[in-house]
Amino acid sequence: QKTGINAEYGGSGAGFYVNATEEPWKTNYRMYSYVTGELPKLIQSNFNVNISKSAISGHSMGGHGALIAALKNPGKYKCVSVYAPIANPSECPWGVKAFYWFSRRK
């Protein structure tokens, strides 16, 4: 599956906490890997934290990302909290627009 950048308008910002798969973004737009891997390691190396008690949260598009991160990594997070998440994007006007844009990408 090709993952572009910002599904909202086909723009240039990273969205949905995914790892981009297309040039020129795939090298640096690796938001899923950053949030689930690099960021926790960075926090643990700089702060006195117990990484086994991690939680993840997000709002809107970030809520969708938090849900996906938690579902793809069972047991990694003690808690997942989301606020107005885009939980069912195929059933809202914004999501329909995003999926339409993605389906037309080559």
Cα–Cα distance list, 30 to 14, 37, 73, 90 (Å): 8, 10, 17, 24
What pLDDT score does 17 carry? 78
Pair 6, 15: CB distance under 8 Å = yes
What pLDDT score does 89 carry? 75
Q: What is the DSSP letter of 25?
A: T
Q: What is the pTM of this model?
A: 0.72
What pLDDT score does 5 carry? 41
Residue 29: φ, ψ to 5°: -95, 75
Tens-binned pLDDT, residue by residue, of the chain (106 aa): 444 444 444 444 546 778 888 788 788 888 899 999 999 999 999 999 999 999 999 988 888 889 999 999 999 999 999 998 888 877 878 777 766 665 565 4
